[in-house]
Structure 1
Amino acid sequence: MDAIEEWSRAQERVIALMEGASAEQVETRVPACPDWTVRDLFSHMVGLGSDVVAGDEPDDHNADWTAKQVAERRGNTVADLVAEWRETAEPLRTWMRANGPRPLGDVIIHEQDLRGALGVPGGKDSEGVAAIRDRFAPRVGQRLPEGTTLGLVGTHWSWASDGGDPEQADVVLHADEFELHRAALARRSAAQLRSWTTKGDVEPVLDAFATLGDLPTGDRSE
């Protein structure tokens, strides 16, 4: 996978998504980011790119940093935001060539957050989704209780926290690859994780999936 080209493809998908949204939809709350509207989340995505290019990027991507991106663009239209993102795109690609494709994660994760809010599916089978799934599954593994192994089994992809046979892990979950991808990002509820469990007791490992915040209280789908 060319991660920078994958970022560019994801950017174009998001731009098309935003340009196709109605004024009412733009003000819709995003279930995966409930403090933000669709416009706010898009403002963060645009602002992240501009900040990275400007050298303003804290290690922890803290809440004050992201909130500032949104606040600074509060009065901007979708067209304004698209124009800024397009202007930033080539400098950001240059930055990624020199520093690595870390911004890919933000656009891939939030593309699906936006799609969930707007009810417009797409991008599920992209190489970027697979790459971020492979990046975050080990983060789930790092958060497991000591001595517990986890296996995630999709239709064409599987993973085990100990590097062995996923079906032989202490706790095994079976679901579609995209669902497992979103679960590793704290985008699926405890009830959904329970429903996918085919072996072992999932309760002690639920917190391991809270990689990007608490698990949602309600079921999610995109």
Structure 2
Amino acid sequence: MDPSPATSAQLYAATRERVTAAVRGLSPADLDRQVPACPLWTVHNLVSHLAGVATDFATGTLDGAPQPPWTAVQVEARRALPIDAVLDEWERTGPLLEQVILEGSSDHPLVCNPWADAGTHEADLHGLLGIGRPPEELWLTALDWALPDPTPSDDVPGTLSIVTPSGTYSIGSGSPVAEVRTSSYELFRAVFGRRSFEQIRSWAWSTPSYADAWSRELPRLPQTERALSD
């Protein structure tokens, strides 16, 4: 379920401001650290991607989005720029993207919901730098947006019911029904590919025989192979 344009723009603006405040002033050594959740990127690369997304979405540069070649162009174009220049660009183009959201001039799901990507990467940075998790509002909105999903692959039968203290989510339909319990934050990170197969498999499964298949089916983005802690 999509949030309202006002909620989407607010979530994105707040994420942009938090990440900017956390990153501006980092030392060159910290900017050059590899981000565990994005092992091909440094902190500088990740922020370059975020600024590039804002610019590309605001200008309608969507060909290839969000595949790796599209994001690679964003990173490469800003590789030699000082971090302040990258953040200044994001400060200019972020509000333009927020206006696109509020005006409803695009129906592209990623353009309308850029907070999901930005919030995922904010959590990625927290895992490395300890900048703080995104607020609960963001990850609960992300779960409402990404789940339920009625069409899993043929590798899993029936329905997965995911019980968290914040609510119950489901993937698939019909029987049999597998059930697992975890926190809403862990589910957010898993849905966006930031928890490994083994990490998801270690959750509290009431039907362990389904854990293997569902632990690979749950992520909506490519699943990390390494255990992440954030």
TM-score (structure 1 length as normaliser): 0.88
Aligned equivalents of 1:15, 1:72: Cα separation in 2: 19
Residues 92/74 of structure 1: CA separation in 2 closer, same or farther (3 Å cut): same
Paired position in structure 1 for 2:51: 46
8 A contact 2:162–2:170 mirrored in 1: yes
8 A contact 1:185–1:212 mirrored in 2: yes
8 A contact 1:136–1:185 mirrored in 2: no
Within 5 Å, give how 1:1-222 maps onto structure 2: 2-58=7-63, 60-97=65-102, 98=104, 99=106, 101-125=112-136, 127-139=137-149, 141-144=150-153, 145=155, 147-161=157-171, 170-200=177-207, 201-213=210-222, 215-222=223-230
Aligned equivalents of 2:176, 2:30: Cα separation in 1: 43
User: CA offsets per residue over residues 174-196 of structure 1, 9 Å max, x none?
Assistant: 11110011111111111111111
Moved over 3 A (4+): 144-147
Identity of aligned residues (%): 28
Q: Which structure 1 residue ranges, 5 or more long, are not aligned?
A: none
8 A contact 1:116–1:221 mirrored in 2: yes
User: CA offsets per residue over residues 29-52 of structure 1, 9 Å max, x none?
Assistant: 111111110100110000011011
8 A contact 1:124–1:178 mirrored in 2: no
Aligned equivalents of 1:162, 1:113: Cα separation in 2: 28
* DSSP-derived class of the 1:50 partner: helix
Name the Cα RMSD after superposition: 2.1
Match of 1:202, as an amino acid? A
* DSSP-derived class of the 2:72 partner: helix
* Aligned length, in residue pairs: 216
Q: Which structure 2 residue ranges, 5 or more long, are not aligned?
A: none
